[in-house]
């Protein structure tokens, strides 16, 4: 596990900063997008940390029914299709 992923506060900040920076264009992200924030870590380890962020209500799931995405809690559209304003 990388130092960044191992440090809960730093990992949360990195995710929130990255998502905030991207939030002009989109507010929902695939799980794979987090690989860019933690390029040195295995997906299963990233999942553990991201899941914790959902449990702590920093992030929230968005699901179309077939695909699941992640967003900052309360950010962007709360239902229906992403991209509709």
Partner 1 sequence: MAKHETPFLDQLESGPWPSFVSDLKQQAEVRAKNEEGVEFQIPQDCVDDLLGVLELSYKHGRTHWKHGGIVGVFGYGGGVIGRYCDQPKMFPGVEHFHTMRVAQPAGKYYTTDYLRKLTKLWDFRGSGVTNMHGATGDIILLGTTTPQLEEVFWTLTHDYNQDLGGSGSNLRTPADCLGSSRCEYACYDTQALCHFLTNEYQDELHRPAFPYKFKFKFDACPNCCVASIARSDMSFIGTWKDNIRIDQDAVNKYVENDAAYPSNAGAHKGRDWGPFDLEKEVLALCPTGCMKFENKKLAIDDANCTRCMHCINVMPRALKVGKDTGCSILCGAKAPILDGAQMGSLLVPFVEVNADNDYEAITEVIENIWDWWMEEGKNRERLGELIMRQGFQKLLEVTGIKAIPQHVSYPRSNPYIFWKEDEVEGGWDRDVEEYRKHHLR
Enumerate binding residues for partner 1 (CB under 8 A). Answer: 30-32, 42-44, 46-47, 50-51, 54-55, 60-68, 71, 78-82
Q: Is 63 helix (H, G, I), strand (E, B) or coil?
A: strand
Looking at beta carbons only, is 8 or 47 nearer to partner 1?
A: 47
Cβ burial of 5 (10 Å; 0-12, 13-18, 19+) is buried
Q: Is 5 helix (H, G, I), strand (E, B) or coil?
A: helix
Looking at beta carbons only, is 21 or 55 nearer to partner 1?
A: 55
Looking at beta carbons only, is 3 or 55 nearer to partner 1?
A: 55
As a whole number of angstroms, the distance between CA 83 and CA 72 comes to 16
């Amino acid at each position: 596990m990388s130092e960044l992923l191992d440090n809960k506060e730093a990992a949360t900040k990195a995710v929130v900063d990255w998502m905030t920076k991207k939030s002009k264009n989109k507010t929902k992200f695939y799980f794979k997008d987090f690989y860019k924030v933690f390029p040195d870590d295995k997906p299963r380890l990233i999942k553990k940390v991201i899941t914790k962020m959902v449990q702590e209500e920093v992030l929230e799931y968005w699901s179309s029914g077939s695909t699941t995405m992640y967003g900052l809690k309360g950010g962007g559209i709360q239902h229906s299709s992403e991209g509709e304003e």
